[in-house]
Structure 1
Amino acid sequence: MDKDKKGLTTSWGAPVGDNQNSMTAGSRGPTLIQDVHLLEKLAHFNRERVPERVVHAKGAGAHGYFEVTNDLSSFTKADFLSEVGKRTPVFTRFSTVAGELGSADTVRDPRGFAVKFYTEAGNYDLVGNNTPVFFIRDAIKFPDFIHTQKRDPKTHLKNPTAVWDFWSLSPESLHQVTILMSDRGIPATFRHMHGFGSHTFKWVNNKGEAVWVKYHFKTEQGIKNLAPDTAAEIAGVNPDYHTEDLFNAIEQGDFPSWKLCVQIMPLEDADTYRFDPFDVTKVWSQKDYPLIEVGRMVLDRNPDNYFAEVEQATFSPGSFVPGVEASPDKMLQGRLFAYADAHRYRVGTNHNLLPINRPQSGVSHYQRDGQMRSDNNGGGSVYYEPNSFGGPEESPQHKLASFEVTGSAGSMAYSHDDHYTQAGDLYRLMSKEEQARLIENIVGAMKPVARDDIKIRQIGHFLKADAELGSRIAEGLGLTEQIDFK
């Protein structure tokens, strides 16, 4: 054997003498249980798949960097935004929402847009979508919503009746539904779509002064979308089309990039703005709060191993760094728990020890033990706090900014219930051709719904957003005579 060529070993490091033939009792005899190399290979193979993500199961990812281009340190003390020209490594994962691991990339579905910033103060995860809003605004509705997007437990098929039944009974979904059914519902590639933090967050500066903030990643490749017929054809020919496109673009040196901008709202405006600024089904008008450039994200390196880096990457909107905090957004508040808990179940309680998730800043804490502990488990160091042995201590300068809370505890709804203005404004901003395609997409998606009363209820929401939009959908579904247009 070539002396420079490495010999095959078992997982415990012992040399393997034969990797082609299992041990048997004679040439035809049964396999011997003492063939521990065979047993280990089969046992490991049976366990090679971790549970897929409940949502965002199908995705692609890439490494890159974020570079600050505008000094916003007066608004936030976040170290990775501290000076123009500063670069921070990032890992970004794009995904569809509802499909399984083997599903097609080119379906009509929101796209996940998650960025992990490996900052000097720990990892900061910005976990959003390619849309600025979402279907619901309270996390208590999320399991029910996702159930409608998954497979029917009886037929194991997608169920349009469940989808539109839920949406028609949840009018807050109308804005996102309008976006989803528009041209932007099927991006041409991951490179040709915007990304959004979607939620409202809080920025805090070194003086303890705070503002509300929304994130916008603007693609520098330009927006491109797929026509439904083209998307369906691609889904049949190459279901991994978006994954392949991202990998090949980076491999060929055509590095995709996005400009990061933010909208900033003074804290006091939250009490007087015409929409609740923490309602994730609504946007802030850019006329009221213009986009401010922050920096530029470039993806320039493909993963070396998909499973280790893309599949085992874990993102949580609760992974904050000093200078960035949560807002009262009810959907965000639920995600602060749900995402990290999903990773503890799917990848393991020590998922942040994996190389793709490990903070480059290092960690100092008292968490010990648990499955898949891959470091020295703290060695013999002190394992509790407070202690008298010089263990890591809290940093009072990094305490979260306080905020005022008022009212009675209870199951409270948002006080603003205008679910129609922004959806109608979006429709009226579209060209005639875009409007026609939107209506065609909605009609096509609603035709399979089993009950007319569900269709009629949903048409009622479209009518409230824009009378023309609703009437054209009713006409397309053949339900004009059953609709009260008053």
Structure 2
Amino acid sequence: MAQPTKKTPGSNGGETHQTVDGRASAEMLTTNQGIAVSDNQNSLRSGARGPTLLEDFVLREKIFHFDHERIPERIVHARGSGAHGYFEATADISDLTKAALFRKGERTETFVRFSTVAGGAGSVDTPRDVRGFAVKFYTTEGNWDLVGNNIPVFFIQDAIKFPDLVHAVKMEADRGYPQAGSAHDTFWDWASLMPETTHMLMWAMSDRTLPRSLRTMEGFGIHTFVLVNEAGESHFVKFHWKPKLGLQSTIWDEALKLQAADNDYHRRDLFEAIDSGNFPEWELGIQVFDKAFAEAQPYDVLDPTKLIPEDDVPVRIIGRLVLDRNVDNFFAETEQVAFCPANIVPGIDFSNDPLLQGRLFSYLDTQKSRLGTANFHQIPVNAPRCPFQNFQRDGQMQMMVPKGRGNYEPNSLTDHGEEGGPRETPAKGFATTTEPTGESEEGDKLRVRSETFADHYSQARLFFISQTESEQAHIASSFVFELSKVGLLDQVPGRMVANLRNVDEDLAKRVAEGLGIPLPKKAPAARAPVDMPQSDALSIHKNMHDTLEGRAVGILIADGTDATELDAVVAAVKKAKGKPVIVAPKVGGAKLSDGRVCKADGQLAGSPSQIFDAVALVLSEAGTAALLKEGAAVQFVMDAFGHLKAIGASSAARPLLDKAGVEPDDGVTGLDAKFLKAASRRFYAREPKLRTLA
């Protein structure tokens, strides 16, 4: 007979349930079968020093589960960070799509996973790499997965080349390194032989692959999709995510030092922003166009190595994404979430993009290998929030318990009073539409690529000429660094530079000079590139927001710091919606001029300036004198200046600026309103004085 229960206060302040005789409690440690464990510290042995006994089922279950608690990591996008949130439709686009999530005012639960691409799960957050930007929408009509990157184009045009891309960029097969980086022989050997990669390489060598934060990067659906309205009319569409905080990036030296300072920098930044209520936000925009526009372009809109310039088709904002809840368990959610581009809802459809078509199979197939079962959709983070039912039964880890004989359709069981199960719904169900071309693309089955995919350089040239002078220098320097890491394959750097001559002659010359090689003959182009007008939307620097919102200011103090001056700086940063972070030589903080002790948020040796967006030196003469002997303090200031950040300093801190080699410019100010204005941006004009760029 079941025992009556009573509620007792739990150790965590909540309530637990305990039987009257105390035999069952929610606080009791049990096996997976619910058997209470009396001793979780010692194995069952034959005597105090004898062998462990096989009958110890507690030990066996615990070790068995531990041995199998890791699942195969993703082949790409292995290192990721996830969060829950919602999407809110802010515009009426019923003329374009019947998808319920786009009804104005509709709010849809989401889960978002950001990731690096090349590195393993144990690699770092801040290498030069593409970032994944995958969004799962739990709509009322089923799950829609918009699986993209922070770059709007891709390396290849056809999915059949995807294994080659991944094999080339991953660790070299014979030696198992380098990890999470493309600066090695096999990647550049492959890329230099594949001219279609050129446009993506321009983005990859730009600051787009060095984001300052996951919260300050764009996201793109990459592929051309199709929107379908209630009347069955269709239009091509490209999806864009625009960060509320604007675009921000680091520079190469800063990214390298961030890896040393904090391997988890992006993951920590995202978690702490949400935890503190500073919810990351993006606007969802669309580029919509028709057959006439598509046919008028000098490129094929179905080619995933091409973008639609925003100057030609402006991005229309239709909604916003807000991330407002961190995961409860990293493994259960961030690791087990399974995205698939094939997950779409009525009102959204696929185009004939050949890379997209291949991904529709690849992602689904991968989940079975990684999660071990075809029933991965039943894992809570993957399960639709709307009802779902079909006749797909059994399989490993089947958690549902279907009833009745109806496991096939059509059936007539309902005619006999039995449960017949679900039925197809032609009126409301998903129906594949024709592309906006309005005509069939069917023809002879051929292993060919359309001639409209043959121009590999025009948009790469467009990207380069749209950058600022500083950004162009960064791109050239990135090519020099990456190609300098090519070892035994001597012909590869020259081959890559020969391709770059089709993009920009000055770029090719700068890279050749940086590598110390003769300028090679221009590589023949499958189709001659055409000049396109530059687009400011392609530049990070032209799209940065001059704001302190969401940015951190490192405030260095020491014993004797003027209390009034410090309070004023902290208050001003907060008023500007920035995050003041107090840094001191000691963990306990520093004693201020008014006698009170100011607790530090970070200790100097473990809080280098690269983790901040600007720094303030609020120091007394005595504090400055002490820090002049502190190598970490000198490096703190030197790196802030070298990474082109604003530095605000009290007059007493001048000797520390001098020792760090800080020269006067617009970004070096006193602790006044001028500093707050400077702290909202970077000073790229400073860079040529500090380092040699290609």
Using the size of structure 2 for normalisation, the TM-score is 0.68
Matched, 1:361 2:386: yes
Matched, 1:28 2:64: no
Instruction: Give the structure 2 partner of residue 103 of structure 1.
Output: 123
Instruction: Give the structure 2 partner of residue 248 of structure 1.
Output: 272
CA 1:405–1:253 in 2, change beyond 3 Å: closer, same or farther?
same
Conserved 8 A contact 1:121-1:321: yes
Structure 2 residue aligned with 1:413, among 433, 449, 452? 449
Secondary structure of 1:179 counterpart: helix
Conserved 8 A contact 2:235-2:289: yes
Deviation at 1:471, TM superposition (A): 1.2
Deviates more, 1:421-430 or 1:304-313: 421-430
Conserved 8 A contact 1:134-1:198: yes
- AA at the equivalent of 1:454: V
Conserved 8 A contact 2:97-2:230: yes
Rounded to whole Å, the distance in 2 between the matches of 1:2 and 1:111 is 46
| Identity within the alignment, % | 45
Matched, 1:132 2:152: yes
CA 1:449–1:210 in 2, change beyond 3 Å: closer, same or farther?
same
- AA at the equivalent of 1:372: M
Deviation at 1:454, TM superposition (A): 1.2
Secondary structure of 1:18 counterpart: coil
Rounded to whole Å, the distance in 1 between the matches of 2:337 and 2:520 is 50
Deviation at 1:472, TM superposition (A): 1.2
Deviation at 1:405, TM superposition (A): 2.3
Rounded to whole Å, the distance in 1 between the matches of 2:158 and 2:520 is 33
Q: How does 1:47-196 map to 2 (within 5 A)?
A: 47-82=68-103, 84-158=104-178, 160-196=184-220
Q: How does 1:279-298 map to 2 (within 5 A)?
A: 279-298=303-322
Deviation at 1:29, TM superposition (A): 0.7
Secondary structure of 2:214 counterpart: coil
Deviation at 1:482, TM superposition (A): 4.8
Rounded to whole Å, the distance in 1 between the matches of 2:279 and 2:423 is 42
Deviation at 1:105, TM superposition (A): 0.6
Structure 2 residue aligned with 1:311, among 328, 335, 340? 335
Conserved 8 A contact 1:10-1:37: yes
Structure 1 residue aligned with 2:425, among 395, 398, 402? 395
CA 1:391–1:484 in 2, change beyond 3 Å: closer, same or farther?
closer
Deviation at 1:369, TM superposition (A): 0.6
Secondary structure of 2:322 counterpart: strand
Matched, 1:216 2:248: no
CA 1:484–1:324 in 2, change beyond 3 Å: closer, same or farther?
closer
Instruction: Give the structure 1 partner of residue 225 of structure 2.
Output: 201
Structure 1 residue aligned with 2:352, among 313, 322, 328? 328
Deviation at 1:424, TM superposition (A): 0.9
CA 1:111–1:485 in 2, change beyond 3 Å: closer, same or farther?
closer
Instruction: Give the structure 2 partner of residue 339 of structure 1.
Output: 363
Instruction: Give the structure 2 partner of residue 475 of structure 1.
Output: 513
Rounded to whole Å, the distance in 2 between the matches of 1:407 and 1:147 is 33
Matched, 1:352 2:377: yes
Deviation at 1:443, TM superposition (A): 0.2
* 1:329-349 alpha-carbon deviations (Å, 9 max, x no partner): 000000000001101111121
Rounded to whole Å, the distance in 2 between the matches of 1:340 and 1:412 is 26
Rounded to whole Å, the distance in 1 between the matches of 2:519 and 2:168 is 29
Secondary structure of 1:66 counterpart: strand
CA 1:2–1:115 in 2, change beyond 3 Å: closer, same or farther?
closer
- AA at the equivalent of 2:461: G
Specify the structure having the higher radius of gyration (Cα).
2
- AA at the equivalent of 1:252: S
Secondary structure of 2:313 counterpart: coil
Rounded to whole Å, the distance in 1 between the matches of 2:353 and 2:484 is 34
Instruction: Give the structure 2 partner of residue 459 of structure 1.
Output: 497
Conserved 8 A contact 1:191-1:219: yes
* 1:352-409 alpha-carbon deviations (Å, 9 max, x no partner): 0010000000211000011111221x23351011111342111213322135123321
Conserved 8 A contact 2:95-2:229: yes
Deviation at 1:272, TM superposition (A): 3.7
- AA at the equivalent of 1:291: V
Rounded to whole Å, the distance in 1 between the matches of 2:83 and 2:207 is 26
Deviates more, 1:382-391 or 1:121-130: 382-391
* 1:293-324 alpha-carbon deviations (Å, 9 max, x no partner): 11000000000000111000000000010011
Deviates more, 1:263-272 or 1:61-70: 263-272
Structure 2 residue aligned with 1:15, among 36, 50, 67? 36
- AA at the equivalent of 1:137: Q
Secondary structure of 2:285 counterpart: strand
Rounded to whole Å, the distance in 1 between the matches of 2:170 and 2:383 is 32
Rounded to whole Å, the distance in 2 between the matches of 1:194 and 1:122 is 26
Deviates more, 1:31-40 or 1:266-275: 266-275
* 1:66-106 alpha-carbon deviations (Å, 9 max, x no partner): 00111111100111002x21100000000000100000110
Rounded to whole Å, the distance in 2 between the matches of 1:140 and 1:154 is 24
- AA at the equivalent of 1:349: A
CA 1:402–1:432 in 2, change beyond 3 Å: closer, same or farther?
closer
Deviation at 1:481, TM superposition (A): 5.3
* 1:269-307 alpha-carbon deviations (Å, 9 max, x no partner): 433432100101000122322211110000000000001
Secondary structure of 1:464 counterpart: coil
Conserved 8 A contact 1:132-1:283: yes
- AA at the equivalent of 1:98: A
- AA at the equivalent of 1:316: C
Deviation at 1:237, TM superposition (A): 2.7
CA 1:294–1:482 in 2, change beyond 3 Å: closer, same or farther?
closer
Rounded to whole Å, the distance in 2 between the matches of 1:130 and 1:250 is 20
Q: How does 1:252-263 map to 2 (within 5 A)?
A: 252-263=276-287
How many residue pairs match? The answer is: 484
Deviation at 1:467, TM superposition (A): 1.0
Deviation at 1:265, TM superposition (A): 1.1
Rounded to whole Å, the distance in 1 between the matches of 2:410 and 2:47 is 64
- For structure 2, the 5+ residue unaligned runs are 1-7, 11-15, 17-25, 414-419, 525-694
Conserved 8 A contact 2:497-2:520: no
* 1:144-199 alpha-carbon deviations (Å, 9 max, x no partner): 10001111121111371111111111111111111111111111111110000010
Secondary structure of 2:215 counterpart: coil
Secondary structure of 1:255 counterpart: coil
Query: More relative contact order in 1 or in 2 (CA 8 Å, sep 6+)?
Result: 1
Conserved 8 A contact 1:210-1:267: no
Deviation at 1:484, TM superposition (A): 6.0
Conserved 8 A contact 1:106-1:186: yes
- AA at the equivalent of 2:167: H
Secondary structure of 1:457 counterpart: helix
Rounded to whole Å, the distance in 1 between the matches of 2:101 and 2:521 is 55
Computed over aligned residues only, the root mean square deviation of the Cα atoms, in angstroms, reads 1.6
Structure 2 residue aligned with 1:379, among 403, 409, 412? 403
Rounded to whole Å, the distance in 1 between the matches of 2:332 and 2:387 is 20
Conserved 8 A contact 1:123-1:319: yes
Secondary structure of 1:480 counterpart: coil
Secondary structure of 1:191 counterpart: helix
Rounded to whole Å, the distance in 1 between the matches of 2:523 and 2:57 is 74
